[in-house]
Structure 1
């Protein structure tokens, strides 16, 4: 009754127009805010001080994180999130956008990141297909010198799905539109997270012999110590499904413009800059175009190197011919 009287009084004070202050905070929090997704909740928090205070509750953001990424409900990831400044809201702010905007070089101290935790969620439409959490140590010489690769499935593991096998180019394109992948890399020590997936697949290919379907998610980012500040690096996540559409492989690697897979040391440096850098927009609409541009530049670079090698070979042949001719002439005159 007290709540009703307060509401009526507030309505009269505003000339009959109901304001947000007329609604009881419990009703707003329980019946309104809990129905919003992360971006909507973040937007509504900027409208007034009352909604800002109500939207700060940890339970709201924890529920949103679990609903957005089922992998975050595992005990390991939940514990890491609880240590973030701002907890679940900070984690969501870090992880919801991609790091497509990271395109500048900054020095990275890889010693600050002794471990990486990867939280992976694959969706077909709104149906979750795969959720996994992987922990990777980064201090050993094996990790830093070997080609960087993080797998979320064991070699003999296969995850069944309800997806239909794409038997045409149209079906492949439809599958590309329907699949969504979140690949969140977490630095427990630095209390930062970043989503390295393009969200939507950039390509879907069927192997003509084995029938496997290879789905690729890729983000083009700035290079590191291996090249100039403007040289691009491809962060590529590959999901491989068998002919029965069972997920048999899901891994991430980093590739430079020469097609070389970066080692753990260089990849960790790039990930650190992504963790500390600005965020872009999740499910980037232009990421496929950026991927195709990267592949075109990579192909042009390869062709240019081949032309340079052919010129060098021709120069070597010409030099060898001239040397032979000079030696033959000298020998002839001596005779």
Structure 2
């Protein structure tokens, strides 16, 4: 009678598993493998695997400042990926924690823009957050200098259909890093929520937006919108990349309010959120914003009518008084 033998995963040489399986996985795949058994977990948490995944996913991790920050984390690249890959959840800023703005004296923005699989732009910007100018002014982080442009080689979208295709092809990652607190969070929607071509200037604007809870700081007591706008010129060179925050009334938040929201995002939970979920969240935010605007317009009209009525009544009363 022929004997049967069984082969366990532990019987396969570790070099074979690493070279032919683990190196071909992306971050979520590698994390899934690590959760299957103790043997695969030991192989899947190797630092060089996660460092390679971070470099592939975000070329800005090659930047010396970002690379140094990653080296300070408990599990280096694996910790950075765990912070930066999942979406910042919409409820991440609603936890009632004490906010101390002074504990975040600086923010680092690591930004990567792709068109399909091709890298279009990769930049790192450092922003100080302690000055009165930053905290009192409208919050805005610009990736490029005013006269700086970046060629992309992207074809200009000459129709609405082409704009729709471009929306599917563009991907943007904006990772906000708190080097003092040792945390990072990705505030971008990944894929663009809108791509529009200006009828007069011909400029193309792609918007990447994530809706987050506002917490209890300043004017940001409800939902807020983390919005990154990429502006392309006629030849599709990148002219401007900016990150801003706005509230439900469409008002741009101050540096103080925005820093508080970012602190809560950095400390909050991460969640799995598909691209359509981000877009639906953005559309719901814009719908609520428009409804609020309409309510304010109606309230102002009623107030105007009331004021006109009071003025008319006062005029009639005064006229009657002088007549009699």
* TM-score bracket relative to the smaller structure: over 0.9
TM-score, normalising length: structure 1? 0.92
1:3 corresponding residue in structure 2: none
SS, match of residue 252 in structure 1: strand
2:81 corresponding residue in structure 1: 92
Identify the match of residue 218 of structure 2 among 215, 218, 226: 226
2:20 corresponding residue in structure 1: 31
2:233 corresponding residue in structure 1: 242
1:134 corresponding residue in structure 2: 125
Residue 281 of structure 1 deviates from its aligned partner by: 2.5
Residue 282 of structure 1 deviates from its aligned partner by: 5.6
2:135 corresponding residue in structure 1: 144
Is the 8 Å Cα contact of residues 105 and 180 (structure 2) preserved in structure 1?
Answer: yes
Residue 227 of structure 1 deviates from its aligned partner by: 4.9
CA offsets per residue over residues 20-76 of structure 1, 9 Å max, x none? 111112222233212211111100001111111111211111111001000111111
Cα distance in 2, alignment partners of residues 26 and 111 from structure 1: 48
Is the 8 Å Cα contact of residues 90 and 211 (structure 2) preserved in structure 1?
Answer: no
Cα distance in 1, alignment partners of residues 6 and 158 from structure 2: 58
CA offsets per residue over residues 266-306 of structure 1, 9 Å max, x none? 00111111111111226532211211111111111111111
2:189 corresponding residue in structure 1: 198
Matched, 1:213 2:194: no
Residue 175 of structure 1 deviates from its aligned partner by: 0.5
| C-alpha spacing 1:282/1:123, structure 2 compared with 1 (3 Å) | farther
Question: What CA RMSD, in Å, does the superposition of the two structures yield over aligned residues?
Answer: 1.6
Matched, 1:304 2:298: no
Matched, 1:102 2:94: no
Cα distance in 2, alignment partners of residues 42 and 139 from structure 1: 37
Cα distance in 2, alignment partners of residues 222 and 148 from structure 1: 17
Is the 8 Å Cα contact of residues 198 and 282 (structure 1) preserved in structure 2?
Answer: no
Is the 8 Å Cα contact of residues 160 and 247 (structure 1) preserved in structure 2?
Answer: yes
Residue 228 of structure 1 deviates from its aligned partner by: 7.4
1:56 corresponding residue in structure 2: 45
Structure label with greater radius of gyration: 1
Cα distance in 2, alignment partners of residues 32 and 289 from structure 1: 36
Paired positions, count: 320
2:313 corresponding residue in structure 1: 322
2:55 corresponding residue in structure 1: 66
- Give the stretch that moved more between structures: 218-227 or 324-333: 218-227
Cα distance in 2, alignment partners of residues 214 and 308 from structure 1: 33
Is the 8 Å Cα contact of residues 106 and 273 (structure 1) preserved in structure 2?
Answer: no
TM-score, normalising length: structure 2? 0.95
Gaps of 5+ in 2: none
SS, match of residue 88 in structure 2: coil
Gaps of 5+ in 1: 1-11
Identify the match of residue 272 of structure 2 among 270, 281, 284: 281
